[in-house]
Structure 1
Amino acid sequence: MTDCTVRAVVDALDSRYPRDWAESWDRVGLVLGEFDHPVSRVLCVVDCVPETVEQALDAGADLIVAHHPLLLKPVSSIAPDTFKGALVHRLIRAGVALYTAHTNADVANPGVSDALAARLDLTGLRPLVPATGAAAGAGRGLGRIGTLPASLTLAELARFVAQRLPATTAGVRAAGDPERLISTVAVCGGAGDSFLADAVRAGADAYLCADLRHHPVSEHLAAGGPALLDVAHWASERPWLDDVAVWLRAEFGVEVLVSDLDTDPWTVHAIRNDLEIRP
């Protein structure tokens, strides 16, 4: 194992996911931690929440690499009696650093949507929304569009997605004709209804993302847009953690763990007389 410090990992992550690729509203980079602290074990998570913080401490991790920012909105206090303040104090006391790569990882190539596309065996990938500004070029951008190995009906694709993505209580929902043949699929890790028009322009047969809302979906389908698949936000971004872990292991030779704790907030799914409850 090579010598590794928080500073070394931060510098490498900043090089792979430059901070100026992030959206102006985003907050990425090192959140807390001592630069000179040695790192021998890393935990990759989608969300920094009490459960994943405890997982990091139980595993003896020195650094958490998270996708979602802990401190996205401005705060005036990190007092220990606040939700986020308690996590900050817990991590500092334990000597665990926290780093976030969010929209800068979304736009990267490879990035969050590449990992999602790979789970579905999509080939011929290109950005759904090509990057502009500092991140422009080299195949970077938000979302990806590619081709399935073989055409599937929408119903078959929904089942395929459910098999390939991490299981959640929310499962997979599809909107459109169940018998519609799908060959070209656009995907976007995380919330993606702002890119519905881009999926139309890209000529996708179906578009998969998270957090789709009733009225945008209804209007999109009424206008003849691609079929839609809605998955849990956590499930759409969890595949990226595996890519980050592989890269960190190769880069530093340290132990890198990936959290499979389902941090999707929905825990109950009822269908008529059936009730599914996540443990």
Structure 2
Amino acid sequence: MSFTVRDVNAVIEGLWPIEHAESWDAPGLLSGSPDAPVSRIHLAVDAVAETVDEALALGAGLLLVHHPLLLRGVTTVAETTYKGAMLARLIRGDCALVAAHTNADIVDDGVSSVIARRIGLLNEVPLVAGAVPGTGLGRAGDLPETVTLGHLARLLAELLPATATGIRVAGEYDAPVTRVALCGGAGDSLLGNPEVRAADVYISSDLRHHPASEAREQAALGGGPALIDTSHWASEWLWLDTAANQLRDALPGVTVTVSDLRTDPWDFVVTQ
């Protein structure tokens, strides 16, 4: 059975509907002919030079990424810019580029749900409800048994691919944890969310100094979660295997591969 970019994109939009993406987002088909054939799909978190090289070397007809390459407005795609250079190489290599971003964050089996299930959360609910029941941004739930904050941080360190920045924690190592809130990717905008405030710990990425500091001060005064800060790339990479399996089921005969390349931007860290 043969498929085109149009066919594959229809499956992608069926699994991760664009109409449920955040208003500021820019997912969907970013480049490529809808009529081009696709026999191999490659998945990555980021469209960067290395993942484009990988997709082209594999002979992929479509590169599916989590982060949209054109999320921010551009006025040129000249090949003197990295976005222009990558788009040109993808087009010349007959490899379409598609992004599934916040539309893949909110669904059941989406980015945050994958993390929640890998750490064993029960009674999972979204932090911010979506248009469809059971969907939405982030997740909260209960661990099967109480563990220490340090134990949970170590579990995440084993679960997530290694990065230079590792796992950062704000809270007492031996603090008991039962209720967990989390958001894959950048999530400090949800620090004031009621589910987050009611949790024992909040797991997310890119937690900035001031929002994290204010959350910890408020927690000390009137209750609130400990914080676990993970690599943005690592927290979203876990979803790729789930997405790949869904695509394999929907597109029989198409080879679907997942990039193991670390596209976290940091190379090393010096501890003090």
TM surpasses 0.5? yes
Gap change, CA 1:84 and 1:201, over 3 Å in 2: closer
Paired residue for 1:96?
A: 95
CA–CA distance in 1 between the matches of 2:114 and 2:161?
A: 13
* Contact 1:199 1:207 (C-alpha < 8 Å) held by counterparts: no
Instruction: Give 1:123 shift.
Output: 2.1
Instruction: Give 1:200 shift.
Output: 5.1
User: Residue type matched to 2:132 in 1?
Assistant: G
Paired residue for 1:185?
A: 180
The equivalent position to 1:172 in structure 2, one of 154, 167, 171, is 167
2:144 pairs with 1:161: no
Paired residue for 2:215?
A: 220
CA–CA distance in 2 between the matches of 1:206 and 1:199?
A: 13
Gap change, CA 1:201 and 1:116, over 3 Å in 2: closer
Paired residue for 1:206?
A: 201
Indicate the percent of aligned positions where both proteins have the same amino acid: 49
- The C-alpha deviation readout for 1:186-236, integer Å capped at 9, x for no partner, is 111100001011155562111100000112111111111101100000011
Paired residue for 2:64?
A: 65
Paired residue for 1:250?
A: 249
CA–CA distance in 1 between the matches of 2:260 and 2:140?
A: 26
* Contact 1:200 1:226 (C-alpha < 8 Å) held by counterparts: no
Gap change, CA 1:43 and 1:199, over 3 Å in 2: farther
User: Residue type matched to 1:68 in 2?
Assistant: H
| SS of match in other structure, 2:237 | helix
Paired residue for 1:276?
A: none
* Contact 1:207 1:228 (C-alpha < 8 Å) held by counterparts: yes
**1:130-141 alignment, distance < 5 Å:** 130-131=129-130, 136-141=131-136
Further displaced range: 118-127 or 199-208? 199-208
| SS of match in other structure, 2:238 | helix
Cα RMSD (Å) of the superposition?
1.2
User: Residue type matched to 1:264 in 2?
Assistant: D
CA–CA distance in 2 between the matches of 1:241 and 1:257?
A: 9
- The count of residues paired between Structure 1 and Structure 2 equals 267
| SS of match in other structure, 1:269 | coil
Paired residue for 1:37?
A: 36
* Contact 1:109 1:138 (C-alpha < 8 Å) held by counterparts: no
* Contact 1:154 1:178 (C-alpha < 8 Å) held by counterparts: yes
Instruction: Give 1:150 shift.
Output: 2.1
| SS of match in other structure, 2:199 | coil
Paired residue for 2:268?
A: 268
Paired residue for 2:18?
A: 19
> Displaced runs of 4+ in structure 1, greater than 4 A?
199-202
**1:36-55 alignment, distance < 5 Å:** 36-55=35-54
| SS of match in other structure, 2:138 | strand
* Contact 2:21 2:102 (C-alpha < 8 Å) held by counterparts: yes
**1:98-137 alignment, distance < 5 Å:** 98-131=97-130, 136-137=131-132
The equivalent position to 1:152 in structure 2, one of 147, 151, 164, is 147
User: Residue type matched to 2:66 in 1?
Assistant: H
TM-score by length of 1: 0.92
Paired residue for 1:232?
A: 231
Gap change, CA 1:61 and 1:237, over 3 Å in 2: same
TM-score by length of 2: 0.95
Structure 1 stretches of 5 or more lacking a match? 273-279
Instruction: Give 1:149 shift.
Output: 2.4
User: Residue type matched to 1:221 in 2?
Assistant: R
CA–CA distance in 2 between the matches of 1:10 and 1:99?
A: 8
User: Residue type matched to 1:242 in 2?
Assistant: D
- The C-alpha deviation readout for 1:35-82, integer Å capped at 9, x for no partner, is 121111111110000000001011111101100010111111111111
* Contact 2:190 2:196 (C-alpha < 8 Å) held by counterparts: no
CA–CA distance in 1 between the matches of 2:229 and 2:91?
A: 37
Instruction: Give 1:177 shift.
Output: 1.5
| SS of match in other structure, 1:190 | strand
| SS of match in other structure, 2:183 | strand
